[in-house]
């Protein structure tokens, strides 16, 4: 193995360098001894002296042999140690690289050359031994990894190992890099693969950042109460929300001071119940910080030791002001929905009822379960045709709302009018998701409207058309006469002797008489004829579809005969009569107002003739009693 050979040879050469001078000394000593023995013999020195000299030499040789024996044992032990060390380097999990520094003319390290690497280095960097050995570190992919020249300069300058974390862009792995100086020009690099730990650290950091962001955007703060050390820790959101300085350790009283006075007992009791009885600590309360009130929710859990003693309490706090406002809006909407006097109906996009309020049930007679999932057309009365509903839905689709009057059917079968408003509710994409109908029963309003219309067009005492409605019907009657080519008789009637009755019996009796007169006149007219009360005891009649003047006179005689019969008023018989005048259109082709004046003139001629009779305007013209050029005053 490469490392074993390097270290064994290095050991042998080292010991050899130490043995060489000793062997030289021993050889010199032996040669010197041989020479000395010859000299001693030549000079006559005895055998005993030679024996002593030989003993000393033998002792020296024995000592030398023992020393050589010890030396061989040390060499063998070193070879074993070096072999084990080489095996350790070959099998170690750390990457090992031996570098030789390359310097410029000024002696500054500008690069390095790989002298040796172990298998672990190859494995964790992905660089093979053949690529690496003898190659400059700046020429292989690992250059982006460790910046060897800078690191070795820092090690040499600082005279101590250098530890850095590096990221290999080629493999995507992370390493602990420890650099050591192994000699004047040699450096050792140890690499420890920390990719898994680094991934865990980065994942933890990312998780913490996500938690921080979720806390920030979600408005959730974290707090901790260390009960053993009486210390409180809180996040930035808690500090900002409660107005705590971030460097301060607030006391419990400081926290309570921010809680609104009305809610403090609630917070204290919740904490007491959690610590003493183990109930869940989840409390909502209001705080007042710098005059600003907010709703907060705190949730926490205490940690205890094996004896049940509280150690610390960890929890979160959340500003729920928006939620509280939304809840209040929902409660208000629910109250409006449930307590509204108007009926409210909500359908889905397919116009199926999904909810109704109590007023709906009261107004329609249908309960909640009666209408769930059904189409609102179950309320249709049939008064409006398909065109009405098509126009309604067209407006609703175009404008998003519709408002109008509609007739619907009560559950008991009665038909009644509603004032209905329908609104289409859309989502963010503009799609209809619900329809909301708001309606009220306008029966009373309709009745009031009809009463007003009746007062505007009918006499309140007799129920006959008044002047306004009479004028409208007068115009229609003339138009009909023109279309049909028929005659139209216009009659002006005034009661005789009405004033004495009214003065004698009083106004109530007079009103009773006028009502009875109206009934007798109507009973002698056809359905399409018209009688109106002009005021006081004066009446006007329109007799339509006449074929001759004689038909008009027959009707007038029936009316006069009916009015000549006695009226029983307050158990007393009363006799009155009537004087009337008539003009016939188109024989008299004047405007409506002039026609009525002509009839009024003829009525006055009947008064002059003795009353309780009628006169015809055309006959008066023929008789020369009235002039056709005479313009009578307006009839008021």
For 242-299, the pLDDT digits (tens) are 777 665 667 778 888 889 999 999 999 999 999 888 888 999 999 998 888 889 999 9
Would you state the pLDDT for residue 196? 84
Exposure string for 38-70, b = 16+ CB within 10 A, e = fewer: eeeeeeeeeeeeeeeeeeebeeeeeeeeeeeee
pLDDT at 3 over 50: no
Q: Mean pLDDT check: name the lowest of 248-262, 341-355, 380-394, 567-581.
A: 248-262
611 burial class (0-12, 13-18, 19+ CB within 10 angstroms)? Answer: middle
Binned at pLDDT 50, 70 and 90, residue 27 comes out as: low
Instruction: Look up residue 545 and give its two tokens.
Output: 């579809």
CATH 2.40.160.40 fits 92-198, yes or no: no
Q: Please name every residue paired with 100 in a beta bridge, in sequence order, or none if there are none.
A: 113, 186
Would you state the pLDDT for residue 159? 67
Q: What is the largest CA-CA distance in the chain?
A: 220
**CA–CA gap between residue 85 and residue 409 (Å, rounded):** 104
Q: How far is CA 65 from the centre of its chain?
A: 99
Would you state the pLDDT for residue 211? 61
- Over the stretch 491-541, which tens digit does the pLDDT of each residue have? 999 999 899 988 888 889 999 999 999 999 999 999 999 999 998 999 999
Fold of 458-622: Alpha-Beta Plaits (3.30.70)
Q: Which residue has the higher pLDDT, 47 or 479?
A: 479
Angle at 463 between CA 461 and CA 466, to 5 degrees: 90
Would you state the pLDDT for residue 539? 96
Q: What percent of the chain has pLDDT over 90?
A: 39
Domains 219-325 and 458-622 share a fold: no
Angle at 495 between CA 489 and CA 500, to 5 degrees: 175
The CATH architecture to which 341-446 belongs is 2-Layer Sandwich (3.30)
Would you state the pLDDT for residue 42? 57
Would you state the pLDDT for residue 51? 66
Would you state the pLDDT for residue 246? 62
Can you tell me the mean pLDDT for 456-479?
92
Contacts of 268 (CB under 8 A, 6+ apart): 256
Would you state the pLDDT for residue 481? 94
Cis peptide before 586, with omega less than 30 degrees from 0? yes
Would you state the pLDDT for residue 454? 80
Would you state the pLDDT for residue 395? 94
Fold of 219-325: Beta-Lactamase (3.30.450)
Query: Domain extents for the chain?
Result: 2-90, 92-198, 219-325, 341-446, 458-622
pLDDT at 369 over 50: yes
Would you state the pLDDT for residue 571? 82
**CA–CA gap between residue 132 and residue 119 (Å, rounded):** 12
Residues comprising the chain, all counted: 636
pLDDT at 8 over 60: no
- Over the stretch 65-89, which tens digit does the pLDDT of each residue have? 777 777 777 777 777 666 665 666 6
Of the segments 210-214, 280-284, 334-338, which one has the largest average pLDDT value? Answer: 280-284
Average pLDDT, the chain: 82
């Amino acid at each position: 193995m490469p490392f074993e050979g390097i270290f064994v040879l290095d050991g042998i050469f080292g010991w050899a360098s130490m043995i060489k001078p000793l062997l030289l000394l021993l050889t010199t000593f032996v040669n010197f001894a041989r020479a000395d023995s010859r000299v001693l013999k030549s000079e006559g020195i005895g055998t005993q002296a030679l024996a002593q000299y030989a003993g000393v030499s033998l002792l020296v040789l024995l000592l030398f042999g023992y020393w050589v024996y010890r030396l061989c044992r040390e060499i063998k032990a070193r070879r074993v140690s070096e072999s084990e060390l080489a095996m350790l380097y070959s099998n170690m999990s750390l990457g090992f690289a031996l570098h030789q520094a390359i310097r410029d003319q000024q002696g500054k390290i500008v690069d390095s050359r790989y002298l040796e690497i172990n298998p672990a280095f190859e494995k964790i960097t992905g660089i093979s031994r053949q690529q690496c050995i003898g190659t400059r570190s700046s020429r292989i992919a690992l250059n982006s990894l460790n910046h060897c020249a800078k690191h070795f300069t820092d090690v040499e300058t600082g005279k101590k190992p250098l530890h850095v974390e590096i990221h290999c862009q080629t493999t995507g792995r992370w390493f602990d890099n420890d650099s050591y100086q192994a000699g004047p020009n040699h450096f050792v690099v140890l690499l420890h693969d920390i990719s898994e730990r680094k991934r865990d650290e980065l994942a933890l950091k990312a998780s913490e950042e996500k938690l921080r962001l979720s806390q920030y955007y979600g408005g959730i703060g974290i707090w901790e109460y260390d009960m053993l050390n009486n210390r409180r820790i809180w996040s930035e959101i808690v500090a900002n929300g409660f107005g705590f300085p971030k460097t301060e350790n607030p006391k419990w009283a400081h926290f309570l001071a921010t809680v609104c006075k009305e809610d403090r007992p609630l917070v204290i009791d919740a904490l007491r119940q959690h610590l003493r009885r183990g109930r869940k600590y989840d409390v909502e309360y209001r705080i007042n910080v710098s005059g600003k009130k907010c709703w907060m929710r705190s949730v926490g859990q205490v940690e205890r030791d094996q004896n049940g003693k509280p150690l610390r309490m960890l929890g979160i706090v959340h500003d729920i002001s928006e939620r509280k406002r939304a809840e209040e809006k929902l409660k208000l909407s629910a109250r409006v929905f449930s307590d509204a006097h108007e009926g409210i109906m909500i359908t889905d996009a397919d116009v199926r009822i999904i909810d109704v309020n109590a007023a709906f049930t009261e107004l329609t007679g249908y309960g909640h379960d009666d209408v769930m999932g059904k189409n609102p057309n179950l309320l249709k009365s049939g008064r409006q045709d398909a065109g009405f509903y098509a126009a309604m839905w067209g407006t609703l689709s175009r404008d998003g709302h519709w408002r109008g009057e509609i007739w619907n059917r009560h559950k008991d079968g009665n038909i009644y009018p509603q004032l209905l408003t329908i609104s289409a509710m859309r989502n963010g994409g503009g799609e209809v998701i619900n329809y909301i109908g708001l309606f009220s029963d306008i029966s009373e309003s309709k009745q009031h409207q009809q009463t007003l219309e009746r007062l505007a067009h009918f006499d309140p005492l007799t129920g006959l058309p008044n002047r306004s409605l009479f004028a409208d019907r007068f115009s229609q009657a003339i138009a009909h006469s023109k279309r049909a080519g028929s005659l139209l008789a216009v009659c002006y009637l005034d009661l005789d002797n009405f004033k004495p009755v009214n003065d004698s019996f009083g106004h109530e009796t007079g009103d009773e008489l006028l009502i009875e007169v109206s009934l007798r006149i109507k009973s002698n007219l056809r359905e399409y004829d018209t009688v109106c009360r002009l005021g006081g005891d004066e009446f006007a009649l329109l007799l339509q579809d006449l074929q001759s003047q004689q038909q008009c006179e027959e009707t007038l005689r029936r009316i006069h005969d009916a009015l000549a019969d006695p009226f029983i008023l307050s158990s007393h018989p009363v006799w009155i009569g009537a004087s009337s005048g008539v003009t016939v259109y188109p024989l008299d082709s004047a405007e409506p107002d002039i026609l009525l004046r002509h009839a009024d003139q003829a009525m006055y001629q009947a008064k002059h003739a003795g009353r309780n009779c009628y006169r015809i305007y055309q006959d008066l013209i023929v008789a020369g009693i009235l002039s056709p050029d005479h313009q009578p005053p307006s009839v008021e």
